Amino acid sequence: MRVGIGYDVHKLTEGRDLILGGVLIPYEKGLLGHSDADVLVHAIMDALLGAAAMGDIGRHFPDTDPKYEGVSSIVLLRNVGKLLEENYYLIENIDATIIAQRPKLLPFINDMIQNVTETLKLSPKQVNIKATTEEGLGFTGSGEGISAQAICSLGTVANYIYDDSSQAGSGCSGCQGCHEKR
């Protein structure tokens, strides 16, 4: 098992949409950033990339590249999912926390979970998203910004291949893998 941690923070500003977990949240301010500034998805991507020892989102999607200006972070998350798949990583679970004094996010959490699970082809039982405040303390508590933290665990395809020589040749098309009984 491999574990990764992600963290992101963006400043709240007027004239921007507030997007969290790919959900447009009605609010008078949005997050400032090169992409849609979705701190939740950014933290999840960094956790996934970290667990796979593949750097961070800045390496894969630099904010100096004009093609990422205003891009949906869900699109970037889909690309991270494909990268993990190409390298034979399987997402075991994701647990994330959004830290924001306002707005109240509970009504949007299920939509956020649905967006992440559909994008990464996961079960809702593999993704947990929650929100909390900082009781008025710090930059999130004063309403200057929003942050998010995420942790994830990855497995590899090799974790699911068992060597059972007594079953040799009995797997799918003679595969030596899982020996699924038909």
17 is in an annotated binding site: no
Q: How far apart are CA 80 and CA 86, in angstroms?
A: 10
108 is in an annotated binding site: no
36 is in an annotated binding site: no
179 is in an annotated binding site: no
95 is in an annotated binding site: no
Closest residue by Cα to residue 72 from 46, 36, 43 = 36
Q: Residues 122, 78: contact at Cβ < 8 Å?
A: no
Dihedral sign computed on CA atoms, order 138, 63, 130, 91: negative
156 is in an annotated binding site: no
56 is in an annotated binding site: yes
**Which helix H or strand E contains 95, and what residues bound it?**
strand 89-99
10 is in an annotated binding site: yes
57 is in an annotated binding site: yes
64 is in an annotated binding site: yes
111 is in an annotated binding site: no
CA angle at 165 for the pair 162 and 169, rounded to the nearest 5°? 95
- What are the helix (H) ranges across 29-158? 39-51, 57-60, 73-86, 109-120, 138-141
Q: How many alpha carbons fall within 13 Å on the CB side of residue 6?
A: 32
58 is in an annotated binding site: yes
42 is in an annotated binding site: yes
Annotated binding site: 8-10, 34-35, 42, 56-58, 61-65, 132-135, 139
Annotated binding site for a divalent metal cation: 8, 10, 42
